[in-house]
Structure 1
Amino acid sequence: MPWTAFSSSSNCPRIDVAVDMGNPFLNRTVDGFLKIGAVAASRVAAEETFHFLQKGTVSGVYVGVEYGMERVRGTKDWKNAMLGGAVTGLLISVTSNNNKEKVFKDAITAGAVATAAEFINYLT
């Protein structure tokens, strides 16, 4: 029969789950399975949070560079998106330790994607 208990410790919460299968070996197996599942779920949550923040960082760099281009050039047009995308692709590729050819491909690709997105925004 399952039961749950929360400890009153201020350091970290603790959840104990006991399932009585009628056999000590099965009880330990189920207990181990539940603990490993909790660790795996925690790991996935941490990795997904990291990837989310990493994508947000790229977006933040792009928005900042595009806004900087707008301020420097004194106009708001598709060229800001192109330059912002190219500079962002360049920065991300350089920090990823890519070779020289890959850095330029990433810059050109990011600039093209940003420009296409800007044109699509103008159409809608």
Structure 2
Amino acid sequence: MPNSRFSGSFSSPDVSVTIDMGNPFLNRTVDGFLKIGTVAAARVATEETYHCIRKGSFSKNKLEHSLKKMCKEGAYWGTIAGVYVGMEYGVERIRGTRDWKNAMLGGAVSGALISAASNSSRDKVVVDAITGAAIATAAEFLNYLT
């Protein structure tokens, strides 16, 4: 019986931009903002390109709308990421240890802060804190698997 085997490896490109703000907390916060903000803007650019191709039309007005949407989404998701990364780092510094609990607490604080900033009700703030904690903890556990 013939036997075949596939072997290889896949590695993602490492794109690192270092911005030294003079403070590790600020460095990590800005890094999170830039990385996730860029991903969000790229997602919008891809989505808008798809819509233009599907419709078969492209205009200056559509381009301006797409650029505004890219900036808005990039800033929104970048801010959320920056708040989360900063909170996780702050919790790590306070606790003096690096483990999954920092992600959980950082996610909870970030979820509550972002929800409270958008003038949500008290119940919504609590639900968003729980959601932030759950997502951050799950992401941390998935990082341990890889």
Q: TM-score, normalised by structure 2?
A: 0.59
1:30 aligns with none
> Which runs of structure 2 are paired with 1:41-52 in the superposition (5 Å)?
41-52=63-74
Q: Is structure 2 residue 112 aligned with structure 1 residue 81?
A: no
Deviations 1:8-58 (A, max 9, x none): xxxxxxxxxxxxxxxxxxxxxxxxxx9x92123212211221111110110
Higher strand share: 1
Q: Which runs of 4+ in 1 moved over 3 A?
A: none
What is the alpha-carbon distance in structure 1 between the residues aligned to residue 66 and residue 119 of structure 2?
26
Any gaps of 5 or more consecutive residues in structure 2? 1-56
1:99 aligns with 121
Any gaps of 5 or more consecutive residues in structure 1? 1-33
What is the alpha-carbon distance in structure 2 between the residues aligned to residue 113 and residue 47 of structure 1?
25
**SS at 1:53 equivalent:** helix
Deviation at 1:108, TM superposition (A): 0.2
Q: Is structure 2 residue 135 aligned with structure 1 residue 113?
A: yes
Residues paired across the two proteins, number: 90
RMSD: 1.6
Residue of structure 1 aligned with 2:59, choices 31, 37, 40: 37
Deviation at 1:65, TM superposition (A): 0.4
Deviations 1:63-115 (A, max 9, x none): 00000000000000000000000000000000111111111000001101100
Identity between Structure 1 and Structure 2 (%): 54
Q: Which structure is higher in RCO with an 8 Å CA cutoff and minimum separation 6?
A: 2
